[in-house]
Amino acid sequence: MMAFARIASVFLLSSCVALGASYSFAQTSPSDREAAAAAQAKRQGKLPTQGDEQYQKNALKRCERQPEGTARDACVKRVTGAGDTTTRGSVQGGGQVRTNTMQVPPADAPKN
């Protein structure tokens, strides 16, 4: 009887540990698991990184989707930091917001 009780308690303990591990895994979101996998890959030196030059190219490529003219020009100025561009926020804080000020004549401006 004592041997049976000991075996049952060992089985119960191991089942709780196994359930606890699977329970915590099931409670994490896919984005949390992906973030953990990326952190592990970074620690192991397996996470490819893109340089600032590639980030700049990607940002300028997104500007190409803007309509030609003022909107596209403003996008390029924000990305490159040209003109009257200001940056607020941080990557750690959730993102950077870049704004620039451009003077645009009103659509109904008198023509000389």
How high is the pLDDT of residue 33? Answer: 87
| Residue 75 CB burial class (10 angstroms; 0-12, 13-18, ≥19) | buried
pTM: 0.46
> If you count them, how many residues does the chain have?
112
pLDDT of residue 68: 92
Q: pLDDT means per 10 residues in the chain (112 residues)?
A: 49 49 63 86 78 86 92 89 85 83 75 68
Region label for 24, one of left (φ > 0), alpha (ψ between -120 and 50) or beta (otherwise): alpha
Amino acid at position 22, single letter: S
At residue 78, what is the residue type?
A: R
* Residue 62 confidence (pLDDT): 93
Distance CA 39, CA 31 (A): 12
